[in-house]
Structure 1
Amino acid sequence: MDENRYQPPEAPLPDLSLERQITIGDTQFLITATGGIDTRINLAVVGCDRDGRVLSEISGGISRANLPMLAEALSSTLAGLVALHGQHHRATVRRRRPANHGVRWRRADDEHLIARHRDGASRRELADEFGRSPAGIRARLEHLGELDRPDPAPTPE
């Protein structure tokens, strides 16, 4: 083969252009990626609600060489954020403790609790009135001898 033969120029690399539209629940995401195959990729992600209001938006440039590593880093980071958000959400959704949870009972409270119980107030009413849980009311009434304590569960032989 003749080494001096004219080599045709390499064809120019095409530009990259990717556009995706994804709907998850009530949110629609538009993802666009543009750039030259041998240059940085410009990435934009926009999330909108049904009325077109922007809820989320992120954009930036990515080196083609770093694309696989960045995809992995973003996936693990976003998964971690989802987990943290879930823990935070569960913590804020938990029922709030009654106002007097853990507070010592005073003698006057005990006397008033007994009187209200004997008058026929429900545990829910007493719980609201004393800032305690219904289980706390029951435990206190048992302690004061106003309710029979449940029999302990039989031990297996």
Structure 2
Amino acid sequence: MTIIQEHRTEVRSGDVQYQVAVVTRSEDGEPERVTVTVGGERPDGEPVVEGRLELDVTSVATVAELLDTSLRTFAGGGARRRSRGRPAQQGRPWTDEMDADLEARWLAGDSVAELARHFARTPGGIRARLPRVGCDPEHPGNHLPTPPSLREAEEGVD
């Protein structure tokens, strides 16, 4: 089954209407490719911006940062700098392997601070991710009542 997720944004600046559409298509629930389409036109229909990018899903964060830095520099606004102390992986997607490692480390007794250092994330990011892998962020070393890793086994038992 093909799953399509789409996000569209439109904004008017002066007399120009800009649009950005981000579309992911996936087989088996995991996005593989991301298409970014950018457009903008004046009231008379004259285009001022148009383009399309095809990206592998793993490159989206890097390409977004690259475009942000490059366009700001070109426009004379200067590049935005990473905040001091901001973890390297903050805001980046989690992989299935990282989720499994997070769950295993939590159940083994690693603290939120240790996990944040290991995954180069913020403590708040770790606490937010724990329930998504079935771990109870309020009780170190414990699962939530039915963690995702055990749901399939329970569903198969009647």
TM-score by length of 2: 0.42
Which of the pair is proportionally richer in strand?
A: 2
